[in-house]
Each structure stands twice: as C-alpha cells, then as structure tokens.
C-alpha cells in the first residue's frame, strides 16, 4: 500500500467519516426513542395522577353531600 498517495488517504478518511455518521445516526435514533418513551411514560403518570385526584375529589364531594 502506498502511504504517500493523498487520494487514497482522502478516500479512507471519507469512508471512515461515513461509517461514523451511520453509527451516529443509529445512536441518535435509539437515544431519541428512549428519551421520548420515557417522557411519554412520565406524562402518562402525571395524567393518571390528575385523573385519580379528580376521582378522589369527586368521591369526597359526593360523600359529603350524602351526610
């Protein structure tokens, strides 16, 4: 292999650059999906908490009217 060939060096550099971009895209795709699913889970927990609080308040209101 000729180490003094600048074209070959540039081709190898571009090849490794493309490989790194592919791995970066895969990593970002997986990372974004994980964080989005975590955020959605947190939102679902908050929604379920507020709906259960609303049910508890409704139950308290209904109970206080019967007594």
Domain ranges of the chain: 1-67
pTM of the prediction? 0.43
- The whole-angstrom separation of Cα 46 and Cα 51 is 9
Maximum CA extent, the chain: 95
Note down pLDDT in tens along the chain; length 67 residues. 556 777 777 788 888 888 888 888 888 888 887 777 776 666 666 666 666 676 666 666 666 665 5
Structure tokens at 58: 């409704």
With contact defined as beta carbons under 8 Å apart, do 2 and 8 qualify? yes
């Amino acid at each position: 292999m000729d180490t003094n060939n600048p074209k070959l060096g540039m081709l190898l550099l571009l090849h490794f650059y493309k490989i790194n971009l592919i791995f970066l895209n895969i990593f970002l795709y997986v990372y974004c999906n994980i964080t989005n699913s975590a955020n959605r889970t947190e939102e679902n927990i908050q929604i379920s908490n507020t709906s259960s609080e609303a049910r508890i308040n409704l139950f308290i209101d209904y109970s206080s009217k019967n007594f």
